[in-house]
């Protein structure tokens, strides 16, 4: 049986009225259904590639509560004044109209892996042949004593982009002259390894113009961090004297916060801050744990050849919530993993050709206006994990032309990947 676009649209139209009725197995027999939980970079990519490449042979249903997704990547550039907030947002219309993905704006609140159904917050459930779980991150409760979500309006994390990012920016802009911006950095592993340090760079850039006597304090439980030499060189060059980092040797690993008094207690000593960005320790998005897909690390282990859950062969876990080996938790990684999973799922369900897995990642960071750096690696599945094959990183002391080109390349990448994930805006 082959499908063309007209058949496919007819089928989609027909199914609209019945898709959410509690008779999923009937639909599943008509066309195998793949349910994707989470419409971030990993989830939207896998949904788009499954729908696009199967040409209607698969019923792809994407569950995502928000109507508009704001990428974490480039949200620091918004903080620094280099990117519009609106340009971070991406809707799901292209996935629905161009690719025929059934986009369901709802919460997935439970997975019955024996019955192969996903329960929806709005009521009812949907059945699946294969399930893809890509819920991103949640925070480890109690990892920063004194902080929980009830105080995120005072001390924002801004580590899931959206209103939190806007709040943090508003707080920075309202800082008193000569005030202090503090960041509680997360322990490994966490989303976007260079993210906190790019954020510090962008906050410094903003403050240097509007509030040049302000100070930035990083309280960090880690000995070292991603692109450290590049960031430290850039901070010295562009923001000399503004940024102080307290590592574990000086109590960076012994921190609590007091949101009501805007204090950070470092090794027993309280410091006042005007803005306090708390980025707690992280774990897989809650639904992954609810579905029984995580282990005692809090992340969901997968096999390196295909991103399949080690705990259920019918389930795939993508992106930040997966424990796969050497790849960093990044949008680029999630996009790369999603393509591997889509290829495997399609081969599973439609008999299409399966090609060996290939993974790659590159992370660009902006240190100051036109001063971009990058780090990247290619990866291959080894016996028990995804292993790094080759890597590169920008060098200290690079000339300004190369740094500017790297920055321009990162903008090209943003446009490229968001078109690849959410579909290009219709011409």
Whole-angstrom Cα distance, residue 294 to residue 285? 10
Nearer to other proteins, 239 or 332 (CB): 332
Q: Which residue lies nearer to other proteins by CB, 321 or 362?
A: 362
- Return the SS3 of 229: helix
Binding site for other proteins (CB under 8 A): 49, 332, 335-336, 339, 343, 353, 355, 358, 360, 362, 374, 376-378, 389-392, 401-402, 404-405, 408-413, 415-417, 419-420, 424, 427
Helix (H, G, I), strand (E, B) or coil at 228: helix
Rounded Cα–Cα distance for residues 24 and 4 (Å): 24
Tokens representing residue 310 in the block: 């080690």
**Least distance from other proteins to the Cβ atom of residue 406, Å:** 9
Count CB atoms within 10 A of the CB of residue 107: 15
By CB atoms closer than 10 A (0-12, 13-18, 19+), residue 390 is exposed
Minimum distance from residue 338 beta carbon to other proteins (Å): 9
Burial of 364 (0-12, 13-18, 19+ CB in 10 A): buried
CB of 380 to other proteins, least distance (A): 8
Tell me how many degrees the CA angle 94-98-104 measures, rounded to the nearest 5.
60
SS3 245: strand
CB of 346 to other proteins, least distance (A): 10
Q: Which is nearer to other proteins, 93 or 120 (CB)?
A: 93
In terms of CB distance, is 76 or 330 closer to other proteins?
A: 330
Q: How far is the CB of 159 from other proteins (least distance, A)?
A: 22
Dihedral pair phi/psi, residue 182, rounded to 5°: -115, 145
Shortest CB 357 distance to other proteins, Å: 11
The sheet that has 308-309: what strands, in order across it?
102-104, 59-63, 33-37, 130-133, 315-317, 308-309, 300-303, 322-323
Which helix (H) or strand (E) is 302 found in, with range?
Answer: strand 300-303
Q: Give the nearer residue to other proteins in terms of CB position, either 292 or 412.
A: 412
Phi, psi (deg, nearest 5) at residue 420:
-70, -30
| Closest CB 358 distance from other proteins, rounded Å | 6
Structure-block tokens of residue 288: 């992954």
- Measured from the CB atom, the residue of 14 and 419 that comes closer to other proteins is 419
Q: Which is nearer to other proteins, 160 or 403 (CB)?
A: 403
Quick check: 335 and 42 in contact, CB under 8 A?
yes
What phi and psi, each to the nearest 5 degrees, are found at residue 244? -125, 135
Q: Is 69 or 413 the residue whose CB approaches other proteins more closely?
A: 413
- For the CB of residue 332, give the shortest distance to other proteins in the complex, in Å: 6
Q: How far apart are CA 344 and CA 374, in angstroms?
A: 30
CB closer to other proteins out of 250 and 355 = 355
Least distance from other proteins to the Cβ atom of residue 331, Å: 9
């Amino acid at each position: 049986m082959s499908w063309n676009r007209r058949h496919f649209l007819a089928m989609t139209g027909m199914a609209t009225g019945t898709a959410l009725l509690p008779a999923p197995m009937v639909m599943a027999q008509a066309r195998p259904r793949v349910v994707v939980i989470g419409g971030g970079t990993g989830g939207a990519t896998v949904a788009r590639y499954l729908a696009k490449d199967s040409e209607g042979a698969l019923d792809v249903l994407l569950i995502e509560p928000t109507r508009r997704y704001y990428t974490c990547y480039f949200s620091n550039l918004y903080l620094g004044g280099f990117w519009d907030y609106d340009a971070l947002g991406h809707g799901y219309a292209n996935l629905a109209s161009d690719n025929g993905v059934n986009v369901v704006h709802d919460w997935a609140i439970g997975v019955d892996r024996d019955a192969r159904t996903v329960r929806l917050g709005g009521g009812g459930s949907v059945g699946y042949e294969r399930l893809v779980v890509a819920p991103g991150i949640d925070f480890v409760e109690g990892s920063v004593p004194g902080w929980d979500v009830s105080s995120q309006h005072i001390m924002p994390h801004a580590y899931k982009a959206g209103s939190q990012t806007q709040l943090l920016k508003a707080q920075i802009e309202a800082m008193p002259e000569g005030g202090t911006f503090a960041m509680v950095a997360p322990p490994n592993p966490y989303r976007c390894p260079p993210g906190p340090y790019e954020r510090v760079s962008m906050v410094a850039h903003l403050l240097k113009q509007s509030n040049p006597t302000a100070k930035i304090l990083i309280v960090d439980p880690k000995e070292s961090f991603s692109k450290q030499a590049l960031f430290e060189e850039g901070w010295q060059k562009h923001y000399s004297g503004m940024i102080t980092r307290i590592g574990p040797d000086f109590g960076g690993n012994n921190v609590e916060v007091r949101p009501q008094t805007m204090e950070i207690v470092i090794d027993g000593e309280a410091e006042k801050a005007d803005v306090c960005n708390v980025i707690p320790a992280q774990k897989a998005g809650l639904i992954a744990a609810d579905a029984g897909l995580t282990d005692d690390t809090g992340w969901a282990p997968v096999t390196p050849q295909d991103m399949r859950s080690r705990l259920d062969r019918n389930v795939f876990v993508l992106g930040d919530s997966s424990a796969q080996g050497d790849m960093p938790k990044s949008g680029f990684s999630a996009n790369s993993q999603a393509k591997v999973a889509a290829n495997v799922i399609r081969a599973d369900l439609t008999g299409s050709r399966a090609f060996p897995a290939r993974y790659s990642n590159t992370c660009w960071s902006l240190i100051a206006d036109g001063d971009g750096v990058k780090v990247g690696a290619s990866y291959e599945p080894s016996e028990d994990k995804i292993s790094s094959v080759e890597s590169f990183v920008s060098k200290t002391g690079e000339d300004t032309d190369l740094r500017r080109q790297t920055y321009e390349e990162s903008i090209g990448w943003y446009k490229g990947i968001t078109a690849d994930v959410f579909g290009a805006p219709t011409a």
